[in-house]
Structure 1
Amino acid sequence: MPAYMIALNRGVHDWKKLDEYWKAAGPSFEGLGAKRLAIYTPLTALEVMGPLEGVVEIEFPDLDTAKRWYESPAYQKAKQIRDGVADTELFIIDGGFVPAEERMPHLKRQS
């Protein structure tokens, strides 16, 4: 099942360094079957918590491949360039559908 990497850019502190990051990060996806679904395309913020400057969405063949990309030396090197340069939230999600009654069981146990 496909997995998706989503990155939310909440703010930029150094545009020159961010450009260096983009140049370094791009090649880290090669050879993994990654599909670039949305890379800083125009967005309409409907329900957000704080500023949102841009979004990236990449599809991977599966969750293991997405994790392998993130942990790769190529991406980790690029990530070092980005650290402190932009306020970024990055996460990987598995594709699919979870029925409502099965969603977030770790939180349901707390209530």
Structure 2
Amino acid sequence: MAAYLIADVDITDMAMFDEYRREVPATEALYGGRYLARGGATRVLEGDWEPHRLVIVEFPDMAALTGWYDSPEYARLKEIRFRCANTRIIALEGAPAA
């Protein structure tokens, strides 16, 4: 069953974040990740949420998603992101096929 990484990214250092943004897709692809949304326009329909840069990445399953997140390939980039952005990230398991 597919799993989704959903991130709300508040960038604090754009130059450093550009390095992260250039390099991270290759690491996700190693684990079967593919972008469904990446920094597009948002519109809040309900609630008091003020999203920043939203990202949704689909992985084949939760094991692939957490494997990527904890991977040595992503470790260096995660440290870069910690220094240049405040991020909220969740992992969401998809619904079973109908």
User: How far apart are residue 37 of structure 1 and its match?
Assistant: 0.5
Call closer, same or farther: CA 1:23–1:48 in 2, change over 3 Å: farther
Residues 62 and 94 of structure 1 are in contact (CA less than 8 Å); yes or no, is this contact kept in structure 2? yes
Residues 32 and 69 of structure 1 are in contact (CA less than 8 Å); yes or no, is this contact kept in structure 2? yes
**Structure having greater relative contact order (Cα 8 Å, sep ≥ 6):** 2
* TM-score after normalising by structure 2: 0.86
Aligned to 2:4: 4
* Other structure's SS at 1:83 match: helix
Task: Report the residue type matching 1:37 in the other structure.
Answer: L
Aligned to 1:20: 19
Aligned to 1:36: 35
Which ranges in structure 1 are unaligned for 5 or more consecutive residues?
Answer: 98-111
Identity %: 31
* TM-score after normalising by structure 1: 0.77
* Other structure's SS at 1:51 match: coil
Q: Which moved more, 1:79-88 or 1:48-57?
A: 48-57
User: 1:69 aligned to 2:68?
Assistant: yes
Residues of 2 paired with 1:47 and 1:12: CA distance? Answer: 24
Residues of 1 paired with 2:73 and 2:31: CA distance? Answer: 12
User: How far apart are residue 27 of structure 1 and its match?
Assistant: 1.2
Which ranges in structure 2 are unaligned for 5 or more consecutive residues?
Answer: none
Rg larger in 1 or in 2?
A: 1
User: How far apart are residue 50 of structure 1 and its match?
Assistant: 5.0
Residues of 2 paired with 1:30 and 1:36: CA distance? Answer: 10
Matched positions, count: 96
Residues of 1 paired with 2:89 and 2:19: CA distance? Answer: 18
* Other structure's SS at 1:30 match: helix
1:31-88: per-residue Cα shift (whole Å, max 9, x none)? 3222210011111123354532211001111110111010111111101111131111
Residues 8 and 89 of structure 2 are in contact (CA less than 8 Å); yes or no, is this contact kept in structure 1? yes
